[in-house]
Amino acid sequence: MGGRDCGSDRGVPEGSAYTGRVDRRTFISAAVALGATGLMCGCARLSPDQLAAAALPVASLAPLPVTAPGPQAIAFDPSRISRQSVPNGSIYELPNDNTDLIAWTVDDGFGDEVTQAYARFVRDSGIRITFFVCAEAPGWSHSAAILRPLVESGQVQIGNHTRTHSNLLNLSDAEIQKDLLDNNALIGNLFGVDSRPYFRPPFGNYDDRVAAAAASVGYTVPVLWNGTLSDSGEIPPETLMSFADRYMRSSNILLGHANFWPVTVLFPRLVGVLEDRDLMTVTLNDVYGA
Ligand SMILES: [Zn+2]
């Protein structure tokens, strides 16, 4: 499973991690055994040249939602958070003493319109979210005017997903560092923040060498996940909802993607799941300080 290719950007993720409930302990022990590589395919595998050309599929012409949840659909109550110090190393889930919290994280931004729809959704709903951006994907610059005030208020956090979205296992230490720092400079230009110490290695692929190379330039916390919407590629909306039902759970770090249209027609229903379960969304900074 560790060598499983994440496949095309259109492929539906497959594998045991997606077809059955992932026992947390099994997941983590397996992740350690594999060096956390290839366990749960993270993101669409696009080359840098494809980033700008990653146009939405024809199906994306389906209408984006015209109604959004009302402002502050999920009230943010900091007293529900048991704040922790910044982790020393990778994280897969929120601390256990943080109940009824969920860290919704969203990667990539390869769908321009999808990224913009996410930005409007976050603004209009009050959802707190951490975006792991590949800052050259055009959706981020097109969304910066909406997102920047949300970043300043702390509702939105920006993490680093590298500039080129490469498999870091295949890069030299210097290349890893450049990929992260180049992206961080772009993030600074777009959002006025430094994304350190949090980064998400593309595809979840990293090992001790990669972690050390990243840490040497300030990226000390690889952020993995223990729940996924499995939408790095395009999947049917109802399939995405089934993953939401499975993985929108207390203490989870949830992985989603701003790549393909289905999530954009599901925003109100996703908020409904959070509300039904009384889950409060948090950024990493909300829980870990910064
Ligand atoms: Zn990715």
Integer Cα distance of 176 and 213 in angstroms: 7
Angle at 152 (CA atoms; ends 148, 155), nearest 5 degrees: 90
Q: What's the gap in Å between 52 CA and the centre of ligand 1?
A: 14
pLDDT higher than threshold 70 for residue 241: yes
CATH architecture of 31-44+87-288: Alpha-Beta Barrel (3.20)
Q: What's the gap in Å between 175 CA and the centre of ligand 1?
A: 17
- Give the per-residue pLDDT at 97: 75
Per-domain boundaries in the chain = 31-44+87-288
Average pLDDT over residues 218-222: 98
- Residue 42 — very low, low, confident or very high, per pLDDT cuts 50/70/90? low
Q: How much of the chain exceeds pLDDT 90, in percent?
A: 71
Q: What's the gap in Å between 80 CA and the centre of ligand 1?
A: 30
Q: How much of the chain exceeds pLDDT 70, in percent?
A: 74
Amino acid at 272: G
Helix-strand-coil percent breakdown of the chain, rounded to 5? Answer: 40, 10, 45
Q: What's the gap in Å between 162 CA and the centre of ligand 1?
A: 9
Q: What's the gap in Å between 44 CA and the centre of ligand 1?
A: 6
Average pLDDT over residues 187-197: 98
User: Looking at the DSSP assignment, which residues form a beta bridge with residue 254?
Assistant: 104, 227
Q: Which of 21-35, 103-117, 256-270 has the lowest mean pLDDT?
A: 21-35
